[in-house]
């Protein structure tokens, strides 16, 4: 079965991103909840398409990227590396849209760790932060 979000990101993409993050930065491997990556992808896509139904000017893939950042940062799908996976998924979808984020490594870390996770930023706050940092690739 193919889901609409698979045009942008697949469960296999998420699993590969996790493996690369651990290889590069270290950490414990493994899924803490095996169904979690597919659930996060599906829920983020459903919310993004609902956003578009409510606001015809909304870009579903952009909203999907922002929702993935929030959801993967907090869902704890993996034993370790959840925030790194969140950043990868978020930026991967934005790249497919033709954009990159203008942020230093420290700004990216602060955004995901301090704002999204600790301060529990909403999807709307993440989207606002993203909008002002987008640059076409």
Q: Please answer whether residues 124 and 63 qualify as being in contact, where contact means their C-beta atoms are separated by less than 8 angstroms.
A: no
Question: What are 23-73's pLDDT values in tens digits?
Answer: 999 998 889 999 999 999 999 999 999 999 999 999 999 999 999 999 999
- Mean pLDDT of all residues belonging to the chain: 94
Residue 91 in domain = yes
Q: Answer whether residue 90 is part of any domain.
A: yes
Q: What is the pTM of this model?
A: 0.93
Coil, strand, or helix at residue 12? helix
CATH number for the domain that contains residue 54: 1.20.120.1870
| pLDDT for res 99 | 98
Q: How far is residue 120's CA from residue 76's CA, in Å, rounded to a whole number?
A: 14
- Indicate whether 57 belongs to any domain: yes
Neighbours of 102 (CB within 10 A): 10
User: Is residue 83 situated within a structural domain?
Assistant: yes
Please name every residue paired with 135 in a beta bridge, in sequence order, or none if there are none.
100
Residue with tokens 């203008």: 102
What is the number of other CB atoms lying within 10 angstroms of the CB of residue 96? 13
pLDDT for the residue 2:
52
What percent of the chain stands above pLDDT 90? 93
- The residue segments making up the domain with residue 53 are 31-136
| Per-residue confidence band for 3, with pLDDT thresholds at 50, 70 and 90 | low
Q: What is the pLDDT of residues 83-113, one digit of tens each?
A: 999 999 999 999 999 999 999 999 999 999 9
Q: Does residue 77 sit within a domain?
A: yes
For residue 8, tell me if it sits in a domain: no
The half-sphere exposure of 36 on its side-chain side, counting CA atoms within 13 A, is: 20
Is residue 95 one of the residues assigned to a domain? yes
Domain count of the fold of the chain = 1
Residue 1, classed as helix, strand or coil, is coil
Tell me whether residue 79 is in a domain. Answer: yes
* Whether pLDDT at 1 is above 90: no
């Amino acid at each position: 079965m193919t889901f609409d979000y698979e045009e942008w990101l697949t469960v296999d993409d998420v699993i590969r991103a996790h493996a690369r993050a651990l290889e590069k930065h270290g950490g414990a491997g493994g899924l803490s909840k095996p169904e979690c990556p597919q659930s996060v992808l599906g829920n983020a896509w459903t919310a993004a398409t609902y956003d578009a139904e409510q606001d015809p000017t909304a870009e579903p893939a952009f909203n999907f990227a922002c929702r993935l950042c929030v959801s993967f940062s907090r869902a704890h799908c993996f034993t370790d590396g959840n925030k790194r996976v969140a950043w990868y998924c978020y930026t991967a979808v934005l790249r497919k849209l033709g954009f990159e984020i203008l942020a230093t490594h420290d700004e990216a870390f602060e955004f995901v760790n301090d704002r999204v996770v600790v301060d529990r930023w909403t999807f709307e706050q993440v989207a606002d932060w993203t909008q002002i940092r987008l640059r076409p690739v």
